[in-house]
Amino acid sequence: MSAALGDDPRWYQRAVFYEILVRGFYDSNNDGSGDLRGITAKLDYLQWLGIDCLWLLPFYQSPLRDGGYDISDFWTVLPEYGDLADAVELVEESHKRGIRIIADLVMNHTSDQHPWFVQSREGRTNPKADWYVWSDDDTRYADARVIFVDTEKSNWTFDAKRGQFYWHRFFAHQPDLNYDNPEVAETMLDVLRYWLDIGLDGFRLDAVPYLFEREGTNGENLPETHNYLKRLRKEVDDLYPGKVLLAEANQWPEDVVEYFGDDDECQMCFHFPVMPRMFMALRRQQRHPITEILSRTPDIPDGCQWGIFLRNHDELTLEMVTDEERDYMWAEYAKEPRMKRNMGIGRRLMPLVDNDRRVAELLHALLFSFPGSPILYYGDEIGMGDNIYLGDRDGVRTPMQWSPDRNAGFSRADFAQLYLPAIMDPVYGYQSVNVEAGLRNPSSQLHWTKRMLEVRKQHPVFGTGTFDVVSTDNPSVLAYMRSTRTVVGGGAASRGEAPDTVFCVCNLSRFAQPAELPLQRWEGKVPIELLGRTPFPRIGELPYFVTLAPYGFYWFELTDG
In the complex, which residues of this chain contact other proteins (CB under 8 A)? 282-288, 291-292, 294-296, 324-325, 328, 331-332, 469, 471, 473-476, 509-511, 518, 520-521, 541, 543
Contact status, residue 389 vs residue 3, Cβ threshold 8 Å: no
- Region for 558 from its dihedrals, namely left if φ exceeds 0, alpha if ψ lies in -120 to 50, beta otherwise: beta
Report DSSP state, residue 124.
S
- Residue 65 makes CB contacts below 8 A (sequence gap 6+) with 111, 171, 173
| Residue 353: CB atoms within 10 Å | 23
Please spell the DSSP secondary structure of 27-91, one letter per residue: -SSSSSS--HHHHHHTHHHHHHHT--EEEEPP-EE---SSTT-S-SEEEEE-GGG--HHHHHHHH
Q: Give me the least distance between CB of 287 and other proteins, in Å please.
A: 8
Q: Can you tell me the distance from the alpha carbon of 400 to that of 404, in angstroms, rounded to the nearest whole number?
A: 11
**Closest approach of Cβ 511 to other proteins, in Å?**
6
User: In whole angstroms, how close is the CB of 139 to other proteins at the nearest point?
Assistant: 34
Min dist CB 275 to other proteins, Å, is 17
Instruction: Return the amino acid letter for 249.
Output: A
Neighbouring residues of 229: CB distance < 8 A, sequence distance ≥ 6: 208, 245, 247, 259, 261, 265, 266
**For other proteins, which is the closer residue by CB, 7 or 541?**
541
State the Cα–Cα distance between residues 301 and 260, nearest whole angstrom. 7
As annotated, the active-site residues are: 206, 248
Nearest by Cα to 479 from 521, 421, 422: 521
Residue 17 is inside which H or E element, if any? strand 17-20
CA distance 192 to 164: 31
- The minimum distance between CB 325 and other proteins, in angstroms, equals 7
Run of H or E including 351: helix 349-352
| One-letter-per-residue 3-state SS of 395-435 | HHCCCCCCCCCHHHHCCCCCHHHCCCCCCCCCCCCCCCCCH
Of 398 and 474, CB closest to other proteins: 474
Write down the least CB distance from residue 459 to other proteins, Å: 23
Q: Integer distance in angstroms from the first to the last C-alpha of the chain?
A: 41
- Considering the complex, state which of residue 137 and residue 324 has its C-beta at the smaller distance from other proteins: 324
Q: In the complex with other proteins, which residue's Cβ is closer, 84 or 331?
A: 331
**DSSP character at residue 14:** T
Q: Closest separation between CB of residue 503 and other proteins, Å?
A: 15
3-state secondary structure of 279: helix
Pick between residue 294 and residue 343 the one whose CB is nearest to other proteins: 294
Q: How far is the CB of 188 from other proteins (least distance, A)?
A: 40
Residue in 346, 330, 305, 281 with CA at minimum distance from that of residue 9: 305
CB of 327 to other proteins, least distance (A): 9
Q: Is 202 helix (H, G, I), strand (E, B) or coil?
A: strand
CB of 328 to other proteins, least distance (A): 7
- Is the CB of 324 or the CB of 560 nearer to other proteins? 324
Q: What share of the chain is helix, strand, coil (3-state, %, to 5)?
A: 35, 20, 50
Contact 28, 17 (CB under 8 A): no
- Our CB check for other proteins shows the closer of 62 and 286 to be 286
Beta strands, E only, 441-495: 466-470, 477-483
Taking the least distance from each CB to other proteins, the nearer of 541 and 560 is 541
Q: Buried b vs exposed e over 243-252: b needs ≥16 C-beta within 10 Å? A: bbbbbbbbbe
The nearer residue to other proteins, 245 or 359, going by C-beta atoms, is: 359
Nearer to other proteins, 172 or 294 (CB): 294
Least Å from the CB of residue 526 to other proteins: 19
- Find all residues with CB under 8 Å of 58, minimum gap 6, and list them: 67, 68, 69, 71, 103, 104, 105, 106, 206
Q: Of 308 and 515, which has the nearer Cβ to other proteins?
A: 515
Query: Alpha carbon 418 to chain centroid distance?
Result: 26
